[in-house]
A and B are shown apart, each in its own frame.
Chain A
């Protein structure tokens, strides 16, 4: 990979500070050189080309940009890429294996837990953290765990069902 810049004969143009970070994305190790102000969501979307992580609101409210950092759901629009140095990031693209969907992905389809699909990756990742910590959640647990993620299409009822469907399936797989 190479980046070509316009030669603007401008001394200042060469002075954009760049930080070098190491991190892993969906299990693959990466090195990136980033402007310190680059948002993690932009590193994921534009730097890595993983466009399943969406950006909705810029203010940490909507949760469309939710990814897992070391297994914890965070909103990648409000984390700097440099803060990901040394951490493991999971995005929606890392949920399925080549041959198999994650039960959350299946659950969202089975229970009609999505319409326009824009909030879905963030919802699934927020739900993943919940199920990793609590394999047998109540409806209330699910609603609380997803309360940092907005959906404008579904009214949430089917999202909750989708997560419970996935919880059931994951538990069956373990028993």
Chain B
């Protein structure tokens, strides 16, 4: 056979570490972020925020603000209320204040807005608004929220008599209780996964542009999910959906922070409608950190029932989640605490039970999935910290304990104790690759030798599989909208093409990788394909980019759209080759006659024929749309290994080595995948080492700017050794890919913490809550006691 198939790597197909096309504008400084857009006649909006965590608003006097030259509008909750916009629905069936009317419920809550010629003027005028507050006692953690006589935070809600948002449970309570009765050893651990903020460098912002003459509202905004925003605006602002155009231009990082709809967006929209001019709102960093979607802040009470030989018999978890003042997560509606119940999916655990409670506090609202598939970060952190503690309790080797409990390669598909169906993986092989890379046996010997000199070395392991790529639509929806995604592919007559999807890149490189999928399916060189996302007037409906769902869902839709196009191209090829369709074979980029392989036509020739020489009766054109509803989640596996040295005199710990083994199935662009992993590992390191938000007893946010909210720089961040030897394709994804964007941020934190805990083994310390700040580690070493990161409770004065 004389194959004339194209070289897939050369055309930038599957597996090519193709350089990114979007870089061409970013390296020149010609990206187009929301704040870079200037529209004729544009005004600027600034938000006045509450200085108090909990207070009744007695009065708001805006007169002095109105008098500032250049001020066009001052918005308050009272004015919003006249339009029925003082409150808005959240993505989790709660309501959230747009501008406060009755009370402020967290520090930084939006109280009023000023729209002016210039942002400086708007800010000046904000400071001239007089708000009289009557302070109320603040609640800063779930314990206070549940205390007898605790002030009711959400007195705006009918039938809300306490601060509980939900009580949710999953699993088999009785079966779990029975398993615990039969356990040889019960290993218990209490943890707090601290509150964190995704904190992309670019803050949130919008430019609303209501055009009276067309009745059309265009909003440029920092949204990871522009179609969801369009639906939300249609519902909230009562503007017909076809008259709303949401455009997400370039986004300076999202990480889940840019999924929800924020009051600032809504206010800029109303201001533009009232003023009939474009209104730009660009949040400052403090506004972003103290008011927009935070993540985590979950307390765990966890137990494992164990047999003496190391077999896990059951898992039991109780969690309290601090959601802040409004339940404004974006969680699938069936699962109140996201996918927390994906915990222990990598291990063969017969039975388990989880009880989850959500609570209101006087803190910023959120609980967003920060580089995370709906709370899987907490799920996997709790899992791997519990695994570490259990191995210690049993006196077993950390690696061996995990290995004997892994779901085995021949056990798939495997039903987890909480109902998920995992479908593929080579967990033991990944573990082996990592143990070899980190020099496990050698390190243990070095560690023992160092101990004798009083030096504390530690090695931490974290292994996990996580559910990425929501939906399927049977189980996953947000506000009832099913979690599928979409792609549209148009092949022009000269064989060039455009792809549009319902996802929205924020650095993940969709403009590069979606073209690679089409190149793989059709043999059109990737450089001949452009990708466009983020404009709801042109892109097909999709649920956006978060939860590592782009490749599993929108990427699959790209492949399916390309296959539909190829099916039509085959008919065109048969017509051009004057043979029946059954006699036509495909190789990359080309159809040929089975009996005469030299006789063929390229995909480009088929494209030309679609516009110039189609057979009688065939619809012209070569394009298609695919809406893809995945049959299952994808289940990547990861094994992370960290070695550290802890300075016993100061509590400072340094990373000696970090090895990451990721099996995310087929890698479309290995360079981009590795970039995602390294980014995730750094967020994991940040979480373990320094990055957290806490609140003092008055509800003041500590971490309201980058001087207090610490993020690692190039100087602290360790180097990483990445491994991709193990590759288990996803059995149901069209090209065998699995999600990857968040794996390292999900699985990584426990590896760092476990390493430090391993260094402290033998001191009696079972847990130090993240972040493992030097003072916490030092305190643990000095006292031999666990260190909790729970925020302080006001003791009364």
Chain A 9-51, CB-CB to B under 8 Å as 1, else 0, gives 0101100000000000000000000010110000001100111
- Near B by CB (< 8 A), chain A positions 114-148 give 114-121, 124, 142-144, 146-148
Interface residue B649 (Cβ < 8 Å from any Cβ of A): no
A155 contacts B28, C-beta separation under 8 Å? no
A59 contacts B252, C-beta separation under 8 Å? no
Chain A residues with CB under 8 Å of B202's CB are 54, 56, 64, 116, 118
Q: B27 touches which one: A37, A51, A108, A118 (CB < 8 A)?
A: A108
Q: B29 touches which one: A6, A8, A10, A92 (CB < 8 A)?
A: A92
B23 contacts A56, C-beta separation under 8 Å? no
B285 contacts A146, C-beta separation under 8 Å? no
Taken together as a complex, chains A and B put the C-alpha atoms of A170 and B201 apart, in Å, by: 30
Using a CB–CB cutoff of 8 Å, the interface residues on chain A facing chain B are: 6, 8, 10, 12-13, 35, 37-38, 45-46, 49-59, 61-62, 64, 91-93, 95-96, 101, 105-106, 108-110, 112, 114-121, 124, 142-144, 146-160
Interface residue B31 (Cβ < 8 Å from any Cβ of A): yes
A59 contacts B508, C-beta separation under 8 Å? no
Known: A101-B27, A155-B717. A112 touches B706 (CB 8 A): no
Chain B residues with CB under 8 Å of A156's CB are 682, 713-714, 717
Closest 3 CB pairs of A and B: A52-B29, A117-B26, A118-B252
Interface residue B196 (Cβ < 8 Å from any Cβ of A): no
Q: B705 touches which one: A53, A59, A93, A160 (CB < 8 A)?
A: A59
Please, could you name 14 A-B residue pairs with CB atoms under 8 Å apart, sorted by A? A45-B35, A56-B252, A59-B285, A110-B19, A115-B509, A115-B679, A116-B506, A118-B33, A118-B200, A146-B714, A152-B255, A153-B253, A155-B678, A155-B680
Chain B residues with CB under 8 Å of A57's CB are 201, 285, 705-706
Taken together as a complex, chains A and B put the C-alpha atoms of A50 and B284 apart, in Å, by: 20
Task: Count A-B pairs with CB separation below 8 Å.
Answer: 182
Taken together as a complex, chains A and B put the C-alpha atoms of A159 and B719 apart, in Å, by: 12
Cβ-closest chain A residue relative to B684: A155
Cβ-closest chain B residue relative to A154: B679
Taken together as a complex, chains A and B put the C-alpha atoms of A158 and B509 apart, in Å, by: 15
B27 contacts A56, C-beta separation under 8 Å? no
A152 contacts B201, C-beta separation under 8 Å? yes
B200 contacts A152, C-beta separation under 8 Å? yes
Known: A54-B202, A115-B508, A147-B714. A61 touches B679 (CB 8 A): no
Taken together as a complex, chains A and B put the C-alpha atoms of A147 and B201 apart, in Å, by: 15
The interface size of chain B toward A, counting residues with CB under 8 Å, comes to: 58
Interface residue B47 (Cβ < 8 Å from any Cβ of A): no
Taken together as a complex, chains A and B put the C-alpha atoms of A50 and B35 apart, in Å, by: 12
Known: A6-B70, A119-B201. A149 touches B26 (CB 8 A): no
Chain B residues with CB under 8 Å of A112's CB are 19-20, 671-672, 674-675
Chain A residues with CB under 8 Å of B26's CB are 114, 117, 120
A52 contacts B706, C-beta separation under 8 Å? no
Chain B residues with CB under 8 Å of A91's CB are 29
Q: B69 touches which one: A8, A61, A101, A151 (CB < 8 A)?
A: A8
Interface residue B616 (Cβ < 8 Å from any Cβ of A): no
Chain B residues with CB under 8 Å of A6's CB are 69-70, 117
Known: A52-B29, A56-B285, A57-B705. A151 touches B715 (CB 8 A): no
Interface residue B166 (Cβ < 8 Å from any Cβ of A): no
Cβ-closest chain B residue relative to A10: B69
Interface residue B137 (Cβ < 8 Å from any Cβ of A): no
Using a CB–CB cutoff of 8 Å, the interface residues on chain B facing chain A are: 19-20, 22-31, 33, 35-36, 38, 69-70, 117, 120, 199-203, 250-255, 284-286, 506-509, 671-672, 674-675, 678-683, 705-707, 711, 713-715, 717, 719-720
Question: How far in angstroms is the closest Cβ of chain B from A148?
Answer: 7
Taken together as a complex, chains A and B put the C-alpha atoms of A37 and B29 apart, in Å, by: 25
Q: A61 touches which one: B671, B683, B706, B719 (CB < 8 A)?
A: B706
Question: How far in angstroms is the closest Cβ of chain B from A14?
Answer: 9
**Beyond A52-B29, A54-B202, A119-B201, 20 additional pairs, beta carbon < 8 A:** A53-B29, A58-B705, A61-B706, A64-B202, A101-B28, A105-B28, A106-B27, A110-B19, A115-B253, A115-B509, A116-B250, A116-B254, A117-B250, A118-B253, A143-B714, A147-B713, A151-B201, A155-B680, A156-B713, A157-B720
Taken together as a complex, chains A and B put the C-alpha atoms of A157 and B717 apart, in Å, by: 9
B28 contacts A93, C-beta separation under 8 Å? yes
Chain A residues with CB under 8 Å of B69's CB are 6, 8, 10, 12-13
B284 contacts A58, C-beta separation under 8 Å? yes
Question: How far in angstroms is the closest Cβ of chain B from A161?
Answer: 11
Cβ-closest chain A residue relative to B32: A51
Chain B residues with CB under 8 Å of A106's CB are 27
Q: B252 touches which one: A109, A116, A144 (CB < 8 A)?
A: A116
Chain B residues with CB under 8 Å of A56's CB are 201-203, 252, 285
Chain A residues with CB under 8 Å of B672's CB are 112
B678 contacts A158, C-beta separation under 8 Å? yes
A51 contacts B508, C-beta separation under 8 Å? no
A59 contacts B253, C-beta separation under 8 Å? no
Question: How far in angstroms is the closest Cβ of chain B from A127?
Answer: 10
- Select the residue from B38, B201, B671 with max chain A CB neighbours within 10 A: B201
- Select the residue from A50, A61, A93, A150 with max chain B CB neighbours within 10 A: A61
Chain A residues with CB under 8 Å of B70's CB are 6, 13
Cβ-closest chain A residue relative to B671: A112
Question: How far in angstroms is the closest Cβ of chain B from A47?
Answer: 12
Chain B residues with CB under 8 Å of A8's CB are 69
Taken together as a complex, chains A and B put the C-alpha atoms of A59 and B508 apart, in Å, by: 27
Taken together as a complex, chains A and B put the C-alpha atoms of A150 and B714 apart, in Å, by: 8
B31 contacts A117, C-beta separation under 8 Å? yes
A157 contacts B719, C-beta separation under 8 Å? yes
B253 contacts A109, C-beta separation under 8 Å? no
Question: How far in angstroms is the closest Cβ of chain B from A165?
Answer: 12
Chain A residues with CB under 8 Å of B674's CB are 112
Question: How far in angstroms is the closest Cβ of chain B from A169?
Answer: 14
Taken together as a complex, chains A and B put the C-alpha atoms of A93 and B29 apart, in Å, by: 6
